Amino acid sequence: MTLLESGENYLEAILILSHKQSEIHAIDVVNHLGFSKPSVSIMLKKLKDDDYIHIDCNSHIYLTNKGKDIAEKIYERHTKLTDFFKKIGVNAQIAEEDACKIEHDLSDETFNAIIELYKKI
């Protein structure tokens, strides 16, 4: 499976949840993302089958190294883009929403250029 934006969002959500709590279950992902239980179950199965996550016998969800690498990259983009947008005067909520929209599609070159500009201002 080629990981698409939706899969990256799930991995990022699991990473964020792991910063807040020691055990993550499917219902936590449901609540965090606001998706239906069946939709979350389907995506978690795909992520597990493709070795992005591990689900143990107690239904605890963990990122694999492969999943963690992607989640950390997306989360870094999200936080840095949000900070940059707020720094240039964008409302905090809009900055957060816009960062979420572009964090997946932005090239490394453009992202790095934004970070360099952010450092200068």
Note whether 56 and 99 are same-domain residues. no
CATH of the domain at 106: 1.10.60.10
Distance CA 61, CA 48 (A): 9
pLDDT at 10: 97
Residue 87 CB coordination number (10 Å): 12
Q: What is the pLDDT of residue 5?
A: 82
Residues 42 and 79 in one domain: no
pTM value surpassing 0.85: yes
For residues 81 and 94, is the Cβ–Cβ distance under 8 A? no
Written as tens digits, the pLDDT of the chain (121 aa) is 567 888 999 999 999 999 999 999 999 999 999 999 999 999 999 999 999 999 999 999 999 999 999 999 999 999 999 999 999 999 999 999 999 999 989 999 999 999 999 898 8
Query: Which residue range forms the structural domain that includes residue 102?
Result: 74-120
How far apart, in whole angstroms, are the C-alpha atoms of residue 12 and residue 79? 11
* Alpha carbon distance 27, 96 (integer Å): 24
Q: What is the pLDDT of residue 72?
A: 97
| Same structural domain, 25 and 58 | yes
Q: How many domains does the chain have?
A: 2
Cα dihedral 45, 46, 47, 53 in deg (nearest 10): 30
Same domain, 42 and 85: no
Looking at residue 2, what is its pLDDT? 60
Residues 33, 47: one domain?
Answer: yes
The H helix count followed by the E strand count for the chain is: 6, 2
